[in-house]
Homo-oligomer: A and B are copies of this chain.
Amino acid sequence: MSKVRICVVGAGRAGMVHATNFRQNVLGASLGAIVDADLDLARRAGHELEVDDCFSSLQDALERASFDAVCIASPTFTHRDLATAAAKGGKHIFCEKPMAITIEEAKQMIEAARAAKVVLQMGFMRRFDPVFRAAKERIEGGEIGSPMIVRSLTRGPGLPPRWACDIRTSNGMLAEVNSHDFDTIRWLAASEFEKIYAEANTLKCFDLKEEFPGFYDNAVVSLRMENGSLGIVDGSCPVGYGYDARAEVLGSEGVMLMGELQDTAVVTCTKSTGLVTSNFPGWRERFREAYVAEARHFVECIIKDQEPAVTGEDGKRALEGVLAANQSIKTGKPVDLPLEGG
């Protein structure tokens, strides 16, 4: 069959990772168009990636270019409108995390994709990472018995963009940085959230706290899952020291650690520096293979007309976890799930 043409929406860092992968690392795909509200940015991306069709809105792209699927990598508050428009145009949808701002929006996206019979895949790339995937398989193989405690953390090196600091346009750090952890815990514990308690504080970016009501830059979340297992999320951003994405599952028969601070296996020791290993500077380096693998999976699902491994439902569930944690931070009390309307 001919190649699946992808229109990438959002030419920021995540968008460029996806665009590059669809262009050169996915055998059955090609890059059809690039959209960014900042048309200059879209055009620079197009120039770099040899794509002629660059637009400032998805609507323009839908009207004037030819493609089969969209990859949504723009700010969270734009996801719902983009996904529903894409679905209406019969385009398959790959959507970056977090899925949306509200549960209602997430539901609309799922419904739109279902009605249009298009693939809707969420960008929880950790599920495609060799480390996390091997861990999941081995847990399912019974290597450490039943999960009892699952810990997942994400810490990012630099400040997120301003819209992501504003809890109204982003649901804050737990959404922008830690969405993955909520998904990872659901996935590895193989169960749904039952009760969530969270503590958060601003311990570094005191000026952002001033500017954005509700802002926090550190959080610790306790989770109780429906199957009785317990979860821990911790998040912090910016941490400066690099990108940190580790997880740990304590099972009834043993423990499994996944991820580490160390990047490449080069270790040096000198008098002035001591014993030093390189760490992951950012998520692009840490999850390079995972981003390629999820892109390949998306294209494969389109070609074979099958359900993706990470669905809109998964996106909605992770969002619920984030919203419950934010509510707990606000009220100082644990929150039961599912949330109303969830």
Of B144, B201, B230, the residue contacting A228 (CB under 8 A) is: B201
List of 5 A-B pairs having minimum Cβ-Cβ separation, nearest first: A254-B270, A240-B271, A275-B279, A148-B203, A257-B267
Among the listed stretches A58-66, A86-94, A161-169, A218-226, which one makes contact with chain B, having 4 or more residues with CB under 8 Å of it? Answer: A218-226
Q: How far is the CB of A247 from chain B (nearest CB, A)?
A: 10
- The interface residues of chain A, by DSSP majority, are classed as strand
Among the listed stretches A103-111, A131-139, A298-306, which one makes contact with chain B, having 4 or more residues with CB under 8 Å of it? Answer: A131-139
Among the listed stretches A73-81, A171-179, A231-239, which one makes contact with chain B, having 4 or more residues with CB under 8 Å of it? Answer: A231-239
Among the listed stretches A10-18, A40-48, A117-125, A258-266, which one makes contact with chain B, having 4 or more residues with CB under 8 Å of it? Answer: A258-266
Of B24, B197, B265, B271, the residue contacting A241 (CB under 8 A) is: B271
- Does residue A71 face the partner (Cβ distance < 8 Å to B)? no
Q: What range describes how many residues of A lie at the interface?
A: 35 or more
Pair A232/B234 contact, Cβ less than 8 Å: yes
Count chain B CB atoms within 10 A of each CB in A195, A220, A236 and give the residue with the most.
A220
CA distance A23 to B239 in the complex (A): 41
Q: A134-B264, A148-B218, A197-B222 are in contact. Are A255 and B232 (CB under 8 A)?
A: no
Pair A257/B266 contact, Cβ less than 8 Å: yes
Residue of B with least CB distance to A285: B130
Q: How far is the CB of A159 from chain B (nearest CB, A)?
A: 13
Of B148, B197, B255, the residue contacting A334 (CB under 8 A) is: B197
Residues of B within 8 A of A255 (CB): 155, 239, 241, 244, 261, 268-270
